């Protein structure tokens, strides 16, 4: 059974600080997705990581993928309040098309 | 990207009734997916809907409870049948688009069952 584990599940951080969210998955996958969800909203695609060593950056967020370690990281640089949201990582299911999601990391950035 | 709409956006229903959720995409797609997000939880795949064939359900989800239609390449419906309070969730449809297999999600349908 494919498992996707994120940690931490809850994160409270001060503005201006850096932090990393980790996503481990249990079976081989060459793709990994990161999404953001604001309260009461749907999912917004942040990053699609397609190969080992892939690194993508958008603003204060940077995501990386190590397929050998089955690990992806989402690094937050100099956090700002607008980054407060829940972040999900996901990998393809065995069918290769749908997604299996982690439990999500609820991030709160405080002044 | 893909523009996905869902109807209704939210509903409050009585126990024992059924609700049909519609998902419309702005262009043709082969696969559409239905997910459930229970309060404060992650997303769980209910089924994969291909046009012209029966939907494929994940473990724990059955056709009698969640019948799905996929009449064409831009539209699908999910029915939540004989509802109970445990069915209170957000139901999201998504599509797989582009060479990067990026998945896009609809705005969701927030269902409350009393």
Q: What is the full per-residue pLDDT of chain A (111 aa) written as tens digits?
A: 789 999 999 999 999 999 999 999 998 888 899 999 999 899 999 999 988 889 999 999 999 999 999 999 999 999 999 999 999 999 998 877 889 999 999 999 998
- Residue-averaged pLDDT of chain B: 93
The tens digit of pLDDT for each residue in B78-96 reads: 999 999 999 999 999 999 8
Contact B33, B47 (CB under 8 A): yes
**How far lies B101's CA from each of A38, B1, B18, B23, B80, in Å?**
23, 11, 33, 19, 28
- Using the predicted structure, report yes or no on whether residue B2 has a pLDDT greater than 80: no
Q: Which among B42, B100, B104 has CB closest to A88?
A: B42
Chain center to CA of A1: 20
Percentage with pLDDT > 70 across chain B: 96
Distance from CA of B46 to the nearest CA of A (A): 10
Rounded Cα gap, residues A2 and A8, in angstroms: 19
- Using the predicted structure, report yes or no on whether residue B72 has a pLDDT greater than 70: yes
> B43, A101: Cβ pair inside 8 Å?
yes
Query: What pLDDT, on a 0 to 100 scale, did the predictor assign at position B98?
Result: 65
Burial profile A52-62: b = 16 or more Cβ within 10 angstroms, e = fewer: eebebeeeebb
């Amino acid at each position: 059974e494919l498992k996707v584990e994120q940690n931490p599940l809850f994160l409270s951080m001060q503005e201006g600080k850096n932090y990393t969210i980790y996503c481990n998955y249990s079976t081989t996958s060459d793709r990994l997705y990161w999404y953001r969800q604001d309260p009461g909203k749907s999912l917004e695609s942040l990053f699609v990581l397609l190969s080992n060593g892939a690194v993508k950056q958008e603003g204060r967020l940077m995501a990386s993928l190590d397929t050998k370690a089955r690990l992806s990281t989402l690094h937050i640089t100099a956090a700002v309040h607008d980054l407060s949201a829940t972040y999900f990582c996901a990998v393809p299911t065995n069918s290769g098309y749908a997604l299996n999601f982690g439990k999500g990391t609820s991030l709160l950035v405080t002044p | 990207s893909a523009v996905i709409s869902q109807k209704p956006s939210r509903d409050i229903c009585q126990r024992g009734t059924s609700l049909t959720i519609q998902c419309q995409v702005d262009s043709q797609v082969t696969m559409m997916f239905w997910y459930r997000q229970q309060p404060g939880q992650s997303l769980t795949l209910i089924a994969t809907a291909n046009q012209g064939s029966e939907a494929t359900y994940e473990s724990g989800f059955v056709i009698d409870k969640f019948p799905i239609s996929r009449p064409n390449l831009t539209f699908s419906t999910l029915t939540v049948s004989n509802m109970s309070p445990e069915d209170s969730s957000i139901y999201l449809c998504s599509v797989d688009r582009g060479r990067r297999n990026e998945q896009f999600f609809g705005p969701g349908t927030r269902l409350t069952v009393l």
